[in-house]
Amino acid sequence: MGRRPAKCYRYQKNKAYPKSRYNRGVPDPKIRIFDAGRKKAPVDEFPFACHLVSLEKEQVSSESLEAARIACNKYMVKTSGKDAFHLRVRPHPYHVLRINKMLSCAGADRLQQGMRGAYGKSYGLAARVNIGTILLSLRCRDANRTQAFESMRRAKYKFPGRQAIVASKNWGFTKLKREVYVDLKSRGRLINDGVNAKVKKTNGPLNVTHAE
């Protein structure tokens, strides 16, 4: 028996139903890797960032997240090279989907009770997203922004509902606007912190290194 189509599990109808000590025997999510490309590239390497943003309140299955990651990653590797970008899948699938299995063999009506005891078995996992939730984020050099937009466009086809592709005003995956980042960098007030950057404080004890 194949998978049910996404339309069966697209809408957020009930409360979140995560894996717990009461909800055991949950299958593993299809997506296991949430970062692709050059994920350890320092923050200065990739100034440009773009995001795929959900425009609907819905549930996104772990299969569709994995399919989108593969589609986006494959196009970027082919056009820009495997070290020219860093892709990150933002939502994690924790919501457990259920299925009330029905028998379809001859004489099934004698064995089955219809809707009696219809609480289903665990079937798959999904992420619950809202309007404005970021699904995918990608950072790269400014020269590769066209390829970044195209890879996001291809990833859109893997999700139900509507999504928007937006270019970030921030520097890479940081929370700093690009002009603010450049200004702080020129004044020596930034500390590189992996894919992020910390801002040095201008107050506090003198024995700690501070910005001038």
DSSP string, 106-149: TTHHHH--TTTT-PPEEEEEEEEE-TT-EEEEEEE-GGGHHHHH
CB 8 within 8 A of CB 63: no
Q: Identify the three-state secondary structure at position 211.
A: coil
CB 72 within 8 A of CB 151: yes
Up-side HSE of residue 130: CA atoms within 13 Å toward CB?
1
pLDDT of residue 205: 76
Q: Identify the three-state secondary structure at position 24.
A: coil
Dihedral (Cα; 61, 63, 68, 73), 10-degree rounding: 140
Residue 174's CB is within 10 A of a number of other CB atoms, namely 22
pLDDT, mean over the chain: 92
Q: What is the pTM of this model?
A: 0.91
What is the mean predicted confidence (pLDDT) over 110-135? 91
Chain CA centroid to CA 143, Å: 24
Least confident residue range of 9-18, 78-87, 99-108, 166-175: 99-108
The percentage of the chain sitting over the pLDDT mark of 70, rounded to a whole number, equals 93
Taking only the tens place, the pLDDT of each residue in 26-52 is 999 999 999 999 999 999 999 999 999
Region of residue 132 (left: phi > 0; alpha: psi -120 to 50; beta: else) = left
At residue 92, does pLDDT exceed 60? yes
Q: Name which residue leads in pLDDT, 126 or 208.
A: 126
**144 pLDDT tier (thresholds 50, 70, 90):** very high
pLDDT of residue 90: 97
At residue 2, does pLDDT exceed 80? no
Nearest to 41 by CA among 168, 134, 140: 140
Cα 34 to Cα 29, 67, 79, 90, 96, distances in angstroms: 12, 12, 21, 7, 19
Q: Name which residue leads in pLDDT, 209 or 184.
A: 184
Q: Name which residue leads in pLDDT, 122 or 105.
A: 122
At residue 24, does pLDDT exceed 80? yes
| Measured distance CA(163)–CA(25) in Å, rounded | 33
